[in-house]
Structure 1
Amino acid sequence: MRKSDRSFYNWLMTNRNSMAANEVQQFANNAFLDSSFPKQSSDFDELSQYLEENTTYLMSMTTFDEAWSLYNAER
Structure 2
Amino acid sequence: MTERNPDSSDEIAQFANNAFYDQSFPKLSENYEKLSQYLELNGNYLPTMTIFDSAWQRYLEKMQ
Structure 2: unaligned runs, 5 residues or longer? none
TM (normalized to structure 1)? 0.80
Higher relative contact order (CA 8 A, sep 6+): 1
How far is the alpha carbon of 1:14 from its aligned partner?
1.4
Structure-2 separation of matches of 1:20 and 1:57? 16
How far is the alpha carbon of 1:41 from its aligned partner?
0.6
SS at match of 1:74: helix
Percent of pairs identical after alignment? Answer: 54
Residue in 2 aligned with 1:57? 45
Residue in 1 aligned with 2:62? 74
The ranges of structure 1 where at least 4 consecutive aligned residues each deviate by more than 4 angstroms after the TM superposition are: none
How far is the alpha carbon of 1:21 from its aligned partner?
2.4
Matched, 1:14 2:5: no
TM (normalized to structure 2)? 0.92
Structure-2 separation of matches of 1:57 and 1:48? 13
| Aligned residues: CA RMSD | 0.8
Structure-2 separation of matches of 1:46 and 1:36? 13
Structure 1: unaligned runs, 5 residues or longer? 1-12
How far is the alpha carbon of 1:45 from its aligned partner?
0.3
